[in-house]
Structure 1
Amino acid sequence: MEEPIGAHPWLRCYRCWSQDLEVQVHYEGIHRIDPATGERAEVVDEIQEAVVQCLECMHDQPHLTFANGRVEAVEDRWERMIAGTPWVASCTVTVDGDDVETCSGPEAGDALSYAAFGDHGTREFFTHVRFHKHEDGNRIVVHLLVELYARNIEEATDVLETAARGHLTITSLAEESRPPAAAEDRH
């Protein structure tokens, strides 16, 4: 017997706590065709990408994934994002210049965030690149403000350190309050 939806505390937006979610699935596949029936005979190659999004606040839900036809929690992330609070860090990440796709134009913010924190920088964290500078050789120092969710300062620091793709320096880290809609629903 399946558990009712309410039994899944992770099945909500980590930002506004809405349960009004949707999954956007993008599928690409190559399939052999059975010449006798015209039906799909075997899968040669397939790729499925999915993003769960909140329909209330339109934020992606990086603590959720879509697998085996259903939305599931990402085990190493969901408790931190649902039970945690937002933390804001001012930091720098020094990366190899070859890891930065572009550092000018409209895509520069995402490219620098990705170079600094990988997928975390573009999908899980709210990042704002304040500026960047080129240093000796082929190094780029990216100065960012980062909002992430964690249960305490140690966990916030660990998440930043784990995600950083270069030398990380945290100049400040402060806990913020949860958005009002989530705070009201927690009781």
Structure 2
Amino acid sequence: MPDAGTLPWMRCYRCWSTSLELHVHYDGIHRVDPATGSPVQAVEEHQEAVAQCLDCMHDQPHLLFRDGRLVADESRWERLVMGTPWVASCTITVAADDVEVCSGPEAGEALSFAALGDAGTQEFFSHVRFHTHQGDDIVVHLLVELYARSGDEAGTVLEDAARGPLVITSLAEESRPPAVSSGGGHA
């Protein structure tokens, strides 16, 4: 559990560790002053950042890097930090053209992304059990672990993420993994 001075959202949503790391990737094009060799004008800049837990190595989709610091993503943090894990067995039907590859080592991630977008590869723990081709569509059969405060919220989160017709065949609440102390051991 975080100490009293730690912000409630500044912890891993998976194991509750406060041992986080920020990976910042910056890409920029700058005009250069010919007299000094210093950049003087940004023509184009792009920055991406991902927070990761050092104890369980999971990305933290409830945290954003803005104005030089980590802040909570208001649309996700309460669900991820205060919720519990839910496991859904479901199918999502997507257009075959939306699937980059459906065989080989990249198939699981490609099918998860086609079915659930970024959430399927960054926020949820999705496991493609199998897929079937039906004409111009692919039906992706998944086990998905996500965090929510209730079964209704879990269903709504899945519906919002699904990139095609969704059928949830089962949805069950799991217990939250034990909290990790900042020393790396379970509390």
TM normalised by structure 1 equals 0.92
Counterpart amino acid of residue 39 in structure 2: R
How far 1:180 sits from its partner (Å)? 1.8
Superposition map of 1:78-117 within 5 A:
78-117=77-116
Which residue pairs with 1:37 in the alignment? Answer: 36
Which residue pairs with 1:48 in the alignment? Answer: 47
CA distance in 2, matches of 1:119, 1:91: 17
How far 1:36 sits from its partner (Å)? 2.9
Judged with a 3 Å threshold, the aligned counterparts in structure 2 of structure 1 residues 85 and 43 are, in CA distance, closer, same or farther, namely same
Quick one: which of 169, 172, 175 aligns to 1:174?
Answer: 172
CA distance in 2, matches of 1:16, 1:10: 13
Which residue pairs with 2:139 in the alignment? Answer: 141
Which residue pairs with 2:183 in the alignment? Answer: none
Counterpart amino acid of residue 8 in structure 1: L
Alignment partner of 1:180: what SS?
A: coil
Counterpart amino acid of residue 13 in structure 1: C
Alignment partner of 1:117: what SS?
A: helix
- Does structure 1 residue 125 correspond to structure 2 residue 129? no
How far 1:181 sits from its partner (Å)? 2.4
Judged with a 3 Å threshold, the aligned counterparts in structure 2 of structure 1 residues 50 and 5 are, in CA distance, closer, same or farther, namely farther
Alignment partner of 1:71: what SS?
A: strand
* Percent identity for Structure 1 against Structure 2: 69
Counterpart amino acid of residue 170 in structure 2: S
How far 1:68 sits from its partner (Å)? 1.2
How far 1:7 sits from its partner (Å)? 4.8
CA distance in 2, matches of 1:65, 1:11: 11
CA distance in 1, matches of 2:41, 2:158: 43
Superposition map of 1:53-64 within 5 A:
53-64=52-63
Quick one: which of 149, 152, 155 aligns to 1:151?
Answer: 149
Aligned residues: 180
Ranges in structure 2 where 5+ consecutive residues have no aligned partner: 181-185
Which residue pairs with 2:20 in the alignment? Answer: 21
